[in-house]
Chains A and B, each alone.
Chain A
Amino acid sequence: MDNVLQMVNISKTFGEVTALRNVNFHVGSNEIVGLLGDNGAGKSTLVKIITGYHQPDPGGEIYWKGQKVERLSVARAREMGIEVVYQERALADLQCLWRNIFMGRELANRWGVLDLRAMRDETSKLMQTAMGFTSVAVTPDSIVGTFSGGERQGVAITRALYFQAELIILDEPTMGLSLSETKKCLDFVAGIKAAGKSAIFIDHNIVHVYPVADRIVVLDRGAVAGQFMKGELTFDELTDRLIRLARTGSFENNRPVA
């Protein structure tokens, strides 16, 4: 399997705090990678490096489809085809739906004048085909802050897919969602795989990650504690190992937890 993303020897320090230590990480083509780890494990920092929000410390290397990428920025990452679906904070609550869909990548002419009609029309189509909005009360001009948690997550995921992303990063996408909304969200993730794209699925809840991931990577205190293909471990074995990791700091030991 070719890698769409490969990160070699990635470290990141903030002042005296080391958030990531020599992390090697990759995502294959049409692969869903589940990224697990406790609070402070370094998941968010890793995501922010992949999306160009943070720069890694010197010595780290990032490859996109085999090509080395220097000084990755947010704009460059989005151009390459990396999109992120961030938890709740992904959307601008006071803005309307079409402004959120095209946030940071508005359709405009060369003078920067917006093509409002095109953005409204595209949003209207997406509402019916991808977001599953059936209520006539919701229009492209509806304010996003009035949507339910599931609808909001649908908007964020649709936004990522609309821009033909090659790699979609889902950062705790099920946080705060009801059971039915979580089911819809997981269907979206399955849809990413079906569409031939790749994804990194970050979640605290392994019940959500395990069924949809092809491979699982576990981060702990800024380093990769272990990784395996889904077929190598059952759900119960994974749970045991995560509990062991929390207790002993070791992920690889396969003995049952007392």
Chain B
Amino acid sequence: MNTAVTEARPLSPTATRGGFVRLARKYALQIAIVFVALLIWAFFVWRAPRTFLAYDIYNALMSTTPYFALMAIPLTLVVIAKEIDLSFSSIMAFGMAAFDVVFLLFSKTDPQLGVWLGFVACLLAGFLAGLLNGVIVVRLGIPSLVATLGTSFFWSGIVLVITNAQGLGLTPTKETLLYSILVGRIGGRIPAQFVWTIVFVIATWFLLNRTKFGAHVYLSGDNVESARLMGVDVARIKMLVFAITGLASAFAGFVVSLDVLFFWPTLGGGYLLNTLASVFLGGTSVFGGTGTVFGTFVASFIIAIINPGIVAAGWTAYWTQPIYGFIIVLSVSLQALLRRRLA
């Protein structure tokens, strides 16, 4: 090891005293998003105390927020890697179309087996659809915005072709173990899908912050040229983040359908905007290289609380969409300003 430069003084005790400030700076985004969440919650408690001081609203939030949070969490990886995916909402339905085909094959002979095999087919279809996004983006060099917009239309159309635009009742699945595991009530109160969302948060956080794969996701989004020069397999990383998002989208589609006991071929249509809003509001930079899973998780609940909050406060629910749009534009603008300051 070369020591060409004169040795510096050891770090002084003031370094330790400054530890708290550094910690606060390091986690500034997470602290800010929690503060925003508390502020919004306090506002709604003030405006509609009967609704927001009762358990029912939180039960509803724990049931329905996972519908898109399960996709927003892995989508964070895609955005950190400086890509975007607009096809996840269509992949929700595509995964369920694969389930539909397999389930119907076994519905007469062994419905239980049909549910399990259909679930596997659903996940596999989601993974492959996500991987295809990655292959198109990486191997053909098509910008992900355009590529996934195209595949989004493609998978939505394929679902209608496969199902002939007919829905599928899933009441028979209610007696299965899979139903209890995925959307049952833990202790009779906590929706299982909320627990799955927590599992997703922990698993994705670990992947992003404690593995080589996660380190390379950050590097690929921050400085792709440098990452390549340093031997990071950027192509593999990008294909994997798309595949993971596809897999999670199919899983989310399965959870939604199981929870409402029906598969609508138009499934996913309403989740595009709030999923993207969760990622950007959570502090993940649209310019790549930074972002946290925790931020996305908290932001998804902020997004989820806005609609019932507006209604409970006595305003028209039509305000929801403009507010989502405003949140996306504001988050991205703040990121642009922060980036300019850093430069």
Residue positions of A touching B, CB distance < 8 A: 51, 53, 73-75, 78, 84, 86, 89-95, 99, 103-106, 108, 112-114, 116, 124, 127-134, 136-137, 139, 141, 143, 145-146, 154, 161-162, 164, 184, 187-188, 190-192, 194-195
| CB pair A95 B218 closer than 8 Å | yes
Distance of B230 from chain A, by nearest CB (Å) = 3
Q: Which of B159-167, B207-215, B253-261 contacts A (4 or more CB under 8 A)?
A: B207-215
Least Cβ distance of A87 to chain B in Å?
10
Q: When the two chains form their complex, are residues A95 and B219 in contact, meaning their CB atoms are under 8 A apart?
A: yes
Q: Please, which residue of chain B has its CB at the minimum distance from the CB of A146?
A: B342
Interface hit among B4-12, B46-54, B110-118, B306-314:
B4-12
Residues of A within 8 Å of B290, CB to CB, are: 94
In the complex, are the beta carbons of B222 and A92 less than 8 A apart? yes
B229 on the A face (CB < 8 A): yes
Question: Judging by beta carbons under 8 Å apart, are A194 and B2 in contact?
Answer: yes
| Cα separation A73 to B228 with both chains bound (whole Å) | 11
Q: Which residues, 155 to 188 on B, are CB-close (under 8 Å) to A?
A: none
Q: Which residues of B1-24 have CB atoms within 8 Å of chain A's CB atoms?
A: 1-12, 14-15, 18, 22
Q: Is B227 an interface residue (CB 8 A)?
A: yes
If A74-B231, A136-B15, A139-B15 touch, whether A130 touches B226 (CB-CB below 8 Å) is no
Closest partner residue, chain A, to B290 (CB atom): A94
Name the A residues within 8 Å of B14 (CB-CB): 136
Interface string of B192-232 (1 = CB under 8 A from A): 00000000000000000011110110110011011111111
Q: Would B342 and A104 count as touching, CB distance under 8 A?
A: no
Whether, in the assembled complex, B289 has its beta carbon less than 8 Å from a beta carbon of chain A, the answer is: yes
The residues of A that contact B18 with a CB separation of less than 8 Å are 136-137
- In the complex, how many angstroms separate the beta carbon of B6 from the nearest chain A beta carbon? 7
Is B26 engaged at the interface, CB distance under 8 Å to the other chain? yes
Across the interface, which residues of A come within 8 angstroms of B11, CB to CB? Answer: 124, 128, 136
- Checking B1, B12, B210, B219 against A92 with a beta-carbon cut-off of 8 angstroms, the contacting residue is B219
- CB atoms of A195 and B2 under 8 A apart: yes
CB distance B229 to A92 under 8 Å?
A: no
A94-B285, A134-B8 known, 16 other contacts, Cβ within 8 Å = A89-B229, A90-B226, A92-B227, A94-B289, A94-B342, A99-B218, A103-B226, A105-B230, A106-B215, A128-B8, A128-B10, A143-B342, A145-B342, A162-B1, A184-B5, A191-B2
Which bracket fits the contact residues of B?
Answer: 35 or more
| A103 contact set on B, CB distance < 8 A | 219, 226-227, 230, 232
Given contact pairs A95-B219, A103-B232, A133-B8, A89 touches B225 in the complex (Cβ within 8 A): yes
Chain B residues close to A by CB (< 8 Å): 1-12, 14-15, 18, 22, 26, 210-213, 215-216, 218-219, 222-223, 225-232, 285, 289-290, 342-343
Task: Report the Cα distance A246→B342, complex, angstroms.
Answer: 40
Residues of A contacting B289 in the complex (Cβ-Cβ under 8 angstroms): 92-95
Q: Is B222 a contact partner of A141 (Cβ separation < 8 A)?
A: no
Q: List 9 A-B contacts (CB under 8 A).
A: A93-B342, A94-B285, A94-B342, A99-B219, A128-B9, A130-B1, A187-B5, A188-B2, A194-B2
* A residues near B212, Cβ cutoff 8 Å: 106, 108, 112, 114
Contact A91 B6 (CB under 8 A): no
A190 and B226 within 8 A (CB): no
Q: Is the CB of B230 within 8 A of A104?
A: yes
Contacts A93-B222, A113-B210, A145-B342; is A53 near B229 (CB within 8 Å)? yes
| A108 to B231 Cα, complex, angstroms | 16
Residues of B near A51 (CB, < 8 A) are: 229
4 closest A-B pairs (Cβ-Cβ)? A191-B4, A104-B230, A132-B5, A92-B222
A95–B222 touching, CB < 8 Å? yes
CA A195 – CA B18 in complex, angstroms? 36
Once the chains are docked, how many angstroms separate the CA of A165 from the CA of B103? 58
A154 touches B5 (CB 8 A): yes
Closest Cβ–Cβ distance, residue A104 to chain B (whole Å):
3
Beta-carbon contact of B229 and A91 below 8 Å:
no
How far is A192 from B4 in the complex, measured between Cα atoms in Å? Answer: 8
Give Cα A162 to B1, complex, Å.
Answer: 6
Q: In the bound complex, do residue B231 and residue A78 qualify as a contact, i.e. CB atoms below 8 Å apart?
A: yes
* Inter-chain contact A86/B226, CB cutoff 8 Å: yes
